[in-house]
Amino acid sequence: MKTFLGFFTVAIALAADSAPYKQITDKQLTDKGQELHGKMQAGLASEVLGDWGNHQVVAAHREATGQAEYHENQADVIVVRKGAGSMVIGGKVVNGKTTAPGEIRGEKIDGGQTIELKPGDVIHIAPKTPHMVVLKKGQKIDYIALKVDAK
Tell me, letter by letter, the H, E, C secondary structure of 87-113: EEECCEEECCEEEECCEEEECEEECCE
CATH number of the structural domain 2-149:
2.60.120.10
**Which run of H or E residues covers position 51?**
strand 44-51
Strand order from edge to edge, sheet including 55-62 = 44-51, 55-62, 141-149, 74-83, 122-125
Q: Which residues of 30-69 are buried (b: 16+ CB within 10 A; e: fewer)?
A: eebbeebeeeeeeebbbeebbeeeebbbbbbbbbebbbbb
**Residue 119 falls in which region: left (phi positive, over 0), alpha (psi -120 to 50) or beta:** beta
Cα angle 128, 69, 115 (rounded to 5 degrees) comes to: 90
Tens digits of residue pLDDT in 55-95? 999 999 999 999 999 999 999 999 999 999 999 999 999 99
pLDDT 10s digits, 25-35 = 889 888 888 88
> Domain coordinates of the chain in residue numbers?
2-149
Q: Which band of pLDDT confidence, cut at 50, 70 and 90, is reported for residue 137?
A: very high
CA dist 108 and 101 (Å) reads 20
Alpha-carbon distance 85 to 98, whole Å? 26
- Residue 64 pLDDT: 94
Across the chain, what does the average pLDDT equal?
87
pLDDT-based confidence at residue 10 (cuts at 50, 70, 90): very low
Contact 75, 141 (CB under 8 A): no
